[in-house]
Amino acid sequence: MKFAVVVFPGSNCDRDMYHVVKDVLQEDAALVWHETGNLENYDAILLPGGFSYGDYLRSGAVAAASDMMSQVKKQAEQGKPVLGVCNGFQVLLEAGLLPGAMLPNKHLAFMCHQEPLEVTNNQTLFTTGYEQGEVVHFPIAHGEGNYFCDDKTMAALQANNQIVFTYKQNPNGSAGDIAGIVNEQGNVLGMMPHPERASEAILGSDDGIRLFQSLIKNWRDAYAINV
């Protein structure tokens, strides 16, 4: 499976994503610069964490207006898997690929620590390797991870089973304890916690590796690819 790791000015988790895909999972991966990259020949798109364009407006707002995100939208509409983590989630929200918005953390402080999450939907492309209701541990690292949406959107997320991960001990004030959601089609996942930083036991948790493994297995099953 061939992964594109999109790199914006200010991305700082792109190498983490690349390492997990290329070195840990032994899959094909490339760092794709936002100005020159073409996403047509990739099987999945990863939007990493960091501070795209320095977060000088709202987090993810400038990146969301880039030509690269026009490509991401096109590929997502065709059903290609897209994963946005932390700033990548913020970019997906700003680009309208996922509903809602991010606010500053409730205590107005940057938070960086391991966090327990509940898998609330294990039937997505990204989560079939988990048990429904399983508690996993991923690190968070954000100052604006307080997910917000109106009541109508929250009702739709719940009705469509789009809430994928929730915090067990809400650290940032997110509505509905939301840590990660998918689009209605189920091929675009945005989440604030970092699965790529929880993909090797030496890092304190390897719960995140199953997210990538789930995606790879489901993609191969869909295309009847045997390796």
Catalytic residues: 86, 194, 196
Domain borders along the chain are: 2-222
Count the Cβ atoms, other than its own, within 10 Å of residue 155. 11
Pick the CATH number of 2-222 from 3.40.50.880, 3.40.50.620, 3.40.50.261, 3.30.565.10: 3.40.50.880
3-state secondary structure of 30: strand
Other beta carbons less than 10 A from residue 143's beta carbon: 17
pTM of the model: 0.96
Query: What is 75-143 written as a DSSP string?
Result: HHHTT--EEEETHHHHHHHHTTSSS-EEE--TTSS-EEEEEEEEE----STTTTTS-TT-EEEEEEEES
What whole-number distance in Å separates Cα of residue 106 and Cα of residue 76?
A: 32
Tens digits of residue pLDDT in 92-132:
999 999 999 999 999 999 999 999 999 999 999 999 999 99
At 177-224, the pLDDT tens digits run: 999 999 999 999 999 999 999 999 999 999 999 999 999 999 999 877
